[in-house]
Structure 1
Amino acid sequence: MAKTSPMICRQIVASIDDAAAGPSYSVTALSAALRRLGHDSAVMAVGQRVPEPGLEIFAQDLARLPGMKLLMVSRGLARALDTVSARGSVLHGHGLWLLPNILPATAAQRHAAPLVMSPRGMLGEAALAFSPTRKRIFWALAQRRALERATCFHATAESEADDIRRAGLSAPVAVIPNGIDIPAGDPVPGARTILHLGRLHPKKGIDRLVAAWARIAKRHPDWRLRIVGPSESGYREALERQVHELGAPRVAFDGPLYGADKLAAYRAAGLFVLPTLNENFGMVVAEALAAGIPAICTKGAPWQGLETKRCGWWTDHGSEAMAVTLDAALALPDAERAAMGSRGRAWMARDFGWDEIAARMAEVYAWSAGRGARPDCVVIA
């Protein structure tokens, strides 16, 4: 891969205040990797985080007005985008449905700046099913027009590229996965914890995991299920009621974990499970594999490589399919699950290192700015 000449690029995301959200990690890690490659990259977001090198935080305006608070208005972000796009920056917007996701398109149009847009899974069918009326209105008023101004889209998997086309958007799509950091150290040998880690939200399908565990738990008395993450809209309480009603044994709930505590949770697991309805990537699967833990993921996320790379299971939706897969995974000898985890870790190190991902993204930026050939990862409609 040829080295791309240094460029100015800005990663725009509505907020990175929630450290448990995937973009809080993936967008900041991408920007850091671009800087390591010599590019002038920074993250621009609205919120309460303390600014630091490579991270520009802007105040939210009109936050006391209920309707406007939800939209995350920021005049400071709008002015900064206007300034940086006038300097020739490539603008890379991440996410949809909030005003900070509209502003990059406005600035790009004003200054004829290249605009790359990453929906971050928010055009998926399951994602669109949540708050559908609000999204239809916002789409008609602003979001569609903003996306139609994109020079190129970024999808983390072919399935997300399909979502972009189903939305009626025709600009080229670059298919580049998220990257992952490979931590030092090894998992706990012979661990007997099934781990789910991430936001507790209905779209994650955790109720199906609980139902599956209730079916098979008696056959695996030395295993337990651990559900870790921040609860949204009282979903943890709903899951706890489900555990009680089904009589599911040995289920533990914990709040969000970060940094070393999060890594320790992965390493103490014998198996990771993501029962999601829809994901554009599923960063937690990559994190589990990078820590050396085999994984089960539903077909709501693009992780068919779990089977082709022999490091996990890519299973159908539903509690019955999950129960069958979970039962088979727990029945394996410890040595076989450990070997699967090792293969997964090697796969992450080989194909998902952040510097490699950032180099591919920089090629997309250069092509979008008319400074290079079209990369192989870019698909023309």
Structure 2
Amino acid sequence: MLKISHIVTSIESEASGLSYSVPSLAKAQAGLGSDVALLSVGTPGKAHDSGVVFETMPRDLSSIPVLQRLYISSELKKRVAEPGADIIHNHGLWMMPNIYGSLARRKNRDVKLVTAPRGMLSATSLNFSPIRKKVFGHMFQNRALDAVDMFHATAESEADEIRALGYRQPIAVVPNGIHDDVPARSPGRTGRDKVVISIGRVHAKKGLDRLIKSWAEVTKRFPEWRLVIAGPSEKGHSEELTGLVEQLSLTTVEVRGPVFGAEKQRLYADSSLFVLATLNENFGMTVAESLMAGTPVICTKGAPWSGLETQKCGWWIDHGIDRLTAQLCAAMETSEDEIDAMGQRGRAWMKSEFGWETIGRKLIDAYGWLREGGDPPSCVRIT
């Protein structure tokens, strides 16, 4: 039985993709017979759920403005260093919890360290707060990455980003999963809402300003349609987008806060289209969520969703306001029957290839190869 410790800075924000994907992965692996713990920083506590031990350690120096952002936790550092784990699987970069696994790896050669950058090594991501990342990299992150035994990339494009930075360790290319119990829109439902949605973190890298500028042209042809942007604001970006909406005198655009649970699922299922206009994304969990809800997707090539085209459940488009405008207009002219058919194909695709049990098993196979050797599983890239 493999003993696996997953490390993530925090899972307390429902709007964070890691708060969904890492616990889901841990539960899937526990269901497959592994001994799994998920270690993070937050309100101290220990709980058991679906075979997983969730341990949350307190944050140190939380009253010091600069240091509190690093999520320093001496208790988490100590817990990660305890012997016993076969695999330490770290998720994310640029925070102190993401360093603790490498420190444990250097002390204990029996444990193997797997790191999932979660899109944080892309050129676009590295260009956000570059000075802070350069300093943190010099002090901590670069050595932590050198200590990695295997990377976990959620797409081939992310694996290419890792290689472009010179890292030669094996890479397990395994996407995030999606739960298959999400309710979907009823096929052929009359009165389908003429709503385009974009859900997720409201961050500059999401390309939402481009989406709004595109909408200024779209609404001239389709004044009855609405655009809803929902998600938590980062660095005041929601306010910037609201200002842009007002500047362009758009009355059919709503920039709102985050949505969760049943409200979020209703928004997916009741909308006609989902748009991810991102500049760069290692996966794009909201694309999978939308497809599972039976709603077709328009996604830029900033995210690795070429399958939208091959599976005939959406559109994978080049960057640019003009390209986005043209695709939005074409999608709005698509018949309701075809939109429903696309939605059904997308949901079937998610169920067949992105179930959490399948994802968990692939990574367990990769862990086993990392520890025992032999022929690598098909998901592992050696070169």
For normalisation by structure 2, the TM-score amounts to 0.95
AA aligned to 2:274 is F
AA aligned to 1:48 is T
The 8 Å contact of residues 214 and 249 in structure 1, kept in 2 or not, is answered as no
Indicate the residue corresponding to 2:173 in structure 1: 175
- Secondary structure in 2 aligned to 1:196? strand
CA 1:50–1:254: 2 relative to 1, 3 Å? farther
Indicate the residue corresponding to 2:311 in structure 1: 309
The number of aligned residues is 374
Question: CA offset at residue 380 of structure 1?
Answer: 0.8
Equivalent in 362, 365, 368 of residue 363 of structure 1: 365
AA aligned to 1:20 is A
AA aligned to 1:170 is R
Counting aligned pairs with the same residue, the percent is 45
Question: CA offset at residue 373 of structure 1?
Answer: 4.1
Q: Does 2:79 correspond to 1:80?
A: yes
Mapped partners of 1:36, 1:275: distance in 2: 35
AA aligned to 1:185 is P
Question: CA offset at residue 43 of structure 1?
Answer: 1.1
- Secondary structure in 1 aligned to 2:114? strand
CA 1:267–1:77: 2 relative to 1, 3 Å? same
Equivalent in 76, 99, 103 of residue 102 of structure 1: 99
CA 1:219–1:183: 2 relative to 1, 3 Å? farther
Could you list the per-position Cα deviations for residues 189-225 of structure 1 after superposition, in whole angstroms to 9, with x for gaps in the alignment?
3221100000111010001111111101121122110
Counterpart mapping for 1:210-229 below 5 A:
210-229=212-231
CA 1:55–1:372: 2 relative to 1, 3 Å? farther
Indicate the residue corresponding to 1:162 in structure 2: 160
Moved more, 362-371 or 289-298: 362-371
> Which residues of structure 1 form unaligned runs of 5+?
1-5
Counterpart mapping for 1:302-381 below 5 A:
302-370=304-372, 373-381=375-383
Mapped partners of 1:184, 1:327: distance in 2: 28
Mapped partners of 1:289, 1:49: distance in 2: 36
Indicate the residue corresponding to 1:47 in structure 2: 42
The 8 Å contact of residues 17 and 49 in structure 1, kept in 2 or not, is answered as no
Q: Does 2:131 correspond to 1:133?
A: yes
- Secondary structure in 2 aligned to 1:369? helix
The 8 Å contact of residues 241 and 255 in structure 2, kept in 1 or not, is answered as no
The 8 Å contact of residues 184 and 292 in structure 2, kept in 1 or not, is answered as no
Mapped partners of 2:37, 2:261: distance in 1: 22
Q: Does 2:7 correspond to 1:26?
A: no
The 8 Å contact of residues 206 and 280 in structure 2, kept in 1 or not, is answered as yes
Question: CA offset at residue 7 of structure 1?
Answer: 0.8
Question: CA offset at residue 48 of structure 1?
Answer: 2.6
Counterpart mapping for 1:57-96 below 5 A:
57-83=56-82, 86-96=83-93
Could you list the per-position Cα deviations for residues 1-58 of structure 1 after superposition, in whole angstroms to 9, with x for gaps in the alignment?
xxxxx21001101111211111111111000101111111121101137542131100
For normalisation by structure 1, the TM-score amounts to 0.95
RMSD: 1.3
The 8 Å contact of residues 94 and 117 in structure 1, kept in 2 or not, is answered as yes
Mapped partners of 2:161, 2:138: distance in 1: 18
Question: CA offset at residue 376 of structure 1?
Answer: 1.2
Equivalent in 5, 8, 15 of residue 13 of structure 1: 8
AA aligned to 1:10 is S
Mapped partners of 1:78, 1:67: distance in 2: 19
The 8 Å contact of residues 154 and 174 in structure 2, kept in 1 or not, is answered as yes
The 8 Å contact of residues 299 and 315 in structure 1, kept in 2 or not, is answered as yes
Mapped partners of 1:105, 1:317: distance in 2: 37
Mapped partners of 1:274, 1:49: distance in 2: 35
Mapped partners of 2:149, 2:229: distance in 1: 40
The 8 Å contact of residues 204 and 275 in structure 1, kept in 2 or not, is answered as yes
Mapped partners of 1:327, 1:248: distance in 2: 17
Mapped partners of 1:143, 1:68: distance in 2: 16
> Which residues of structure 2 form unaligned runs of 5+?
none
Moved more, 112-121 or 367-376: 367-376
AA aligned to 2:58 is A
The 8 Å contact of residues 45 and 57 in structure 2, kept in 1 or not, is answered as no
AA aligned to 1:379 is R
Mapped partners of 2:85, 2:323: distance in 1: 51
- Secondary structure in 2 aligned to 1:342? helix
Indicate the residue corresponding to 1:199 in structure 2: 201
Question: CA offset at residue 372 of structure 1?
Answer: 6.0
Mapped partners of 1:60, 1:88: distance in 2: 23
Mapped partners of 2:185, 2:216: distance in 1: 26
Mapped partners of 2:126, 2:348: distance in 1: 35
Indicate the residue corresponding to 1:281 in structure 2: 283
The 8 Å contact of residues 217 and 249 in structure 1, kept in 2 or not, is answered as no
Question: CA offset at residue 247 of structure 1?
Answer: 2.0
Mapped partners of 2:354, 2:151: distance in 1: 20
AA aligned to 2:63 is R
Could you list the per-position Cα deviations for residues 269-299 of structure 1 after superposition, in whole angstroms to 9, with x for gaps in the alignment?
1100000010000000000000000000001
Q: Does 2:32 correspond to 1:37?
A: yes
